[in-house]
A and B are shown apart, each in its own frame.
Chain A
Amino acid sequence: MERVSGRQLNMIGAMFMYPTALIYLPGTLMTFARQDAWFAVFLPLGVMLAVLWVMSRVSARFPGMDLFAAMISRYPVAGRLLAGGYIAFFFLVLIRDLRTLVDFVDVTLLPATPMVIAGALVAFSTVLIARGGIEVVARVTELFAPSLIAITLALPLLTANSLELRFLAPVFEYGIGPSLHAGWLVGAWIGEIALLPLIFPGQTFRFRDGAYGMVLSVLLFEIVLVVELLLLGPNLGSRPLFPTWEAVRHIRLTDFLDRWDLVLVGIWFPSVVTKVSYGLYVMCHGLERISRSLDPRPLSTALGLFALVVSLWAFENSMDVVLLHHLWPWIALVFEIAVPALLFLVLRPARSSS
Chain B
Amino acid sequence: MINALGVALVVSAVLTMLERRWLSKAPGATRWLFGLLLLLSISLYVYQAPNTHVWRPGELLHVFAPPSGPP
Residues of A within 8 A of B (CB): 27-28, 30-32, 116, 120, 238-241, 243, 287, 291-295, 297-299, 301-303, 305-306, 308-310, 312-316, 319-324, 326-327
Contact = CB atoms under 8 A, between A and B. Distances in A.
Given A295-B22, A295-B26, A316-B56, A238 B71 contact: yes
A186 to B, nearest CB: 14
Contact of A297 (B22, B66, B70): B22
Contact of B64 (A239, A306, A323): A323
Interface in B27-71: 27-30, 33-34, 37-38, 40-41, 44-45, 47-49, 54, 56-59, 61-62, 64-66, 68, 70-71
A239 B56 contact: no
Interface centre among B30, B45, B47 (most CB of A within 10 A): B30
Contacts of B40: 306, 309
A32 B12 CA distance: 44
Nearest to B8: A309
Contacts of B41: 302, 305-306, 308-309
Contact of A327 (B23, B44, B64, B68): B64
Interface of B: 7, 11-12, 15, 18-19, 22-23, 26-30, 33-34, 37-38, 40-41, 44-45, 47-49, 54, 56-59, 61-62, 64-66, 68, 70-71
B19 A294 contact: no
B contacts with A: majority SS: helix
**A238, A291, A292, A323 — most chain B CB neighbours (10 Å):** A323
Contact of B57 (A30, A303, A314): A314
A322 B59 CA distance: 12
14 contacts: A31-B66, A32-B66, A120-B11, A299-B34, A302-B33, A302-B41, A306-B40, A306-B41, A312-B45, A313-B44, A313-B48, A314-B58, A316-B59, A319-B70
Contact of A323 (B18, B23, B26, B65): B65
B23 A298 contact: yes
Contacts of B23: 298
Contact of B38 (A28, A305, A313): A305
A322 B30 contact: no
A313 B56 contact: yes
A116 B46 CA distance: 12
A334 to B, nearest CB: 15
B50 to A, nearest CB: 12
Contacts of B70: 28, 31, 319, 322-323
